[in-house]
Chain A
Amino acid sequence: MPLGAISCFTVERKDELERPLEFDSERMERLQNGPSEVVLIGNSMVYCRLNTHYLPDLLAPLSVEMVTEGGTRSLQWFLWFKNYVAEVKPAPKVVLILYRDYDFGRVDFRVAGTYLDTIRKSMRKGDEKYLWIARGQSQIRGPAGWLEETFGEHPQNTKKRKRVEDAAMDVAALAGSLPEPEVRKYVKGAFSMDKLRSDIQDAGASENDNLKGIACQFTADADKNYLSHFDQVAREHGIKLVFYRVRRRPDDSNTVHQAATLADYTRDFRKWIEARGHAWVDETDDEEITLSMFRDGDHLFKESYNRYTEMFVERIRHLLPKPYTPEEIAAGKAAARNLLIQ
């Protein structure tokens, strides 16, 4: 009987969960309205270290756009890069990705729950294969694959849990003056990333610290992580990538300790990046970014943002491109219009 009960609920295909959700076209429009020569991709390492209002002033006359969301990792960054940033006409000339240590090695981190929804909103048709990389499913066969298929996250499960939440939302709407859509909007805002404790915003970095084994060995295997996919998209669109490794929180002696495995990983990572004509910047050993600038985890005090932004710009200055010519912008806008018409 229990097996019968299970089979009733496995008829629906599990890959429904991996299909793209409604594409977040607002973000696309915003980027296209730029367009910007320089784009920054990342998580709180962008907006909790850089003064995002001051940075455009320092980079002028270049235009800069930031595509960030707290807690995101390499799959989300890749999807933003492929489906938004690289699709802008004219394409940006330089894309900087601000990352920490093993961010590109550990692809399975933060690809479930609410993160999955955001990821699916950045997916286009056919992008399911990138999710499979994160889940390591491209290799899963046999009993383990059957088990994942049978007991893994399931669309019916998501629907039922959503119904519970919807029912609770209805009750909440009845309990006060705000109608249900307003309550929903308020709840979403109440738990947004900027309302969280700063140590929580920074969570994940410490989980990366605890990495052992597989992810510590560098690989750019297309089935294991997104590095070669980044490279391929960048080549197709003539974009120069800059992998920018941020300095982690130093200890009392203003030193950032690195395990031998991390040093090896970083060395191999750099070699791979530079062999492909992209750039790599590492501020890990920059002692001018002192402990006193850090608020919590790897986030900085707001008072340090300006100083850090200036240091950041100095470090990337040699990588900055020339501004778009009016012809490039016109050609790009025309291409975008044509795409819209098609």
Chain B
Amino acid sequence: MIFHSFQYVVFFVALISVYWWLPFRGQNLLLLAASYFFYGFVHPWFLILLTATALIDYFTSNRMALDPARKRFYLGITLVANLGVLCSFKYLDFLSGGHALEIVHWLGFKQMTAQDVAALLPVGLSFYTFQSIAYVMDVYRGEIQPQRKLLDFLLFVSFFPQLVAGPIQRAAFLSGQLTKPRVFDARIARSAVVLILWGYLKKLAIADNAATICNKVFSLDQPSWPVLWAGVFAFAVQIFADFSAYTDIARGSARLLGIDIAQNFNHPYLASSPPDFWRRWHISLSTWFRDYVYIPLGGGRCSQGRVMVNIMLTFLLSGLWHGASWNYLLWGAYHGALLVLWRLWERGPEAWRPDRFWRWPQILLTFGLVNFGWLLFRETDLRMLGKYLSSNPFAASGAEWQTAVYLFTSVLLFALPIIIQTALHPWIERHLHYTDDAPPPWSWALLQGVTAALLIVGIRLLAAPDSSDFIYFQF
């Protein structure tokens, strides 16, 4: 089920209307049933895989507590199961050099077509697998106690708002909330509605409109240099608006259920360096890789050369996490290299260090570097990528530059709500979010009502006619 569908609205309204009438255990049972319905709505097959891996993780984590001497063995079982499933369904075609269909036929499923094989990949597999791995790793390290109640654990893995495209939650944060009674708070509920509407605006009116422009450019056989980069800019807006919209709707939905989900974005295009970008972009995945790959590899506490290797390895894996394709690997390698180079620059002569420059040029430079990365991310055809990279800005005619200005301005105008929100962010933080010294409820409610109305009008007036799936569904 997708967030921007009529089914989801009906599903969620029906859920909420029953949810708050139930006692705590009943709420959890209902949430689990709802999560399974939500996920199984796409394809019931997905539930088998989700439940199977969750059961393995549940039993291994509990065995670790009962039999600490063999916890390494149980961790191994979990890793093999989760990564095995991930590799089998997501990377089989890539690892076998495009022979997944032959392998499936060899296994005896001769009736299956390439489309059938592609449809087997459960949406959100990378997200919930990583969430489960993090949970078992935390139990292994003794940072959390294993979840004894199977129902609560299954709910932790399958909690529907963040199941398909994150944010990837840590057990210490989410599981704790799922095992405690929840209290309805009208102020939080109102802020959740605003957050959901903001998410819908970003998806339908910004991301989908930017997508139309971006798709047009990337459909061209030979885009000129300025047109190509206007298209890349459109993609930068699209992917941010799209992914952060999903997060906002997920967080808003969870908040209406009395559960808080961690933030995934913090104005990433205001980052003043590549490391800063990764502290602001897809935070739940970046911190996952930091905690479960980079630090176990030695992190930053080893020789300079080893640190660089650690960074490169982490980012290569991060690229591969996004998909079984060379362009994602290239994108990961590019960002790894950026971080390594930035690290060297920061350790260079003091007069030339990046912090000696003004902040805005740094932000612009970072944005430009990130955009180059988006080109690698967006174009899956390496032949076309080569064509793009060899295009010459000086060969473009005046008309092509004007076309690029038209595309760029269109995207910028569609992205205005995000720009305004970014500018107003400090004020919004003070006035629209719940704080102890919040103004009286009536003014709050009024402000939120006006904001909600404006958002609805914005969606109504600017929503693109052709809406697509959220980009991160494919990962």
Contact = CB atoms under 8 A, between A and B. Distances in A.
Interface of A: 1-2, 4-6, 8-9, 112-113, 116, 144, 147, 153-154, 156-158, 160-161, 164-165, 167-169, 171-173, 175-178, 182-183, 186-187, 190-191, 195-198, 200, 209-210
Given A1-B450, A5-B453, A183-B399, A197 B462 contact: no
Contacts of A168: 405-407, 409-410, 413
Nearest 6 Cβ contacts at the A-B interface: A172-B406, A168-B409, A168-B410, A176-B402, A175-B405, A160-B461
Contact of B465 (A113, A167, A187, A195): A113
A175 B402 contact: yes
A160 B462 contact: yes
Contacts, number: 109
Nearest to B220: A195
Specify which of A171, A190, A195 lies most central, judged by the most chain B CB atoms within 10 Å of its CB. Answer: A190
B282 to A, nearest CB: 29
Nearest to B404: A172
Contact of B402 (A9, A113, A156, A186): A186
Contacts of A164: 410, 413-414, 462
A186 B399 contact: yes
Contact of A187 (B406, B461, B464): B406
12 contacts: A1-B449, A161-B464, A168-B405, A168-B407, A168-B410, A175-B405, A187-B403, A190-B220, A196-B220, A197-B220, A197-B384, A198-B221
Specify which of B6, B398, B409 lies most central, judged by the most chain A CB atoms within 10 Å of its CB. Answer: B409
A196 B402 CA distance: 19
Contacts of B462: 157, 160-161, 164
A157 B463 contact: yes
B452 interface: yes
Specify which of A153, A169, A171, A209 lies most central, judged by the most chain B CB atoms within 10 Å of its CB. Answer: A171
B453 A1 contact: yes
A23 B413 CA distance: 31
Contacts of B450: 1
B221 A6 contact: no
Given A1-B449, A6-B460, A113-B465, A197 B402 contact: no
B216 interface: yes
B406 A169 contact: yes
A160 B413 CA distance: 12
Given A154-B460, A195-B221, A171 B406 contact: yes
A210 B118 CA distance: 11
A323 to B, nearest CB: 40
A202 B219 CA distance: 11
B406 A183 contact: yes
Nearest to B114: A209
Contacts of B413: 164, 167-168
A210 B457 contact: no
B262 to A, nearest CB: 28
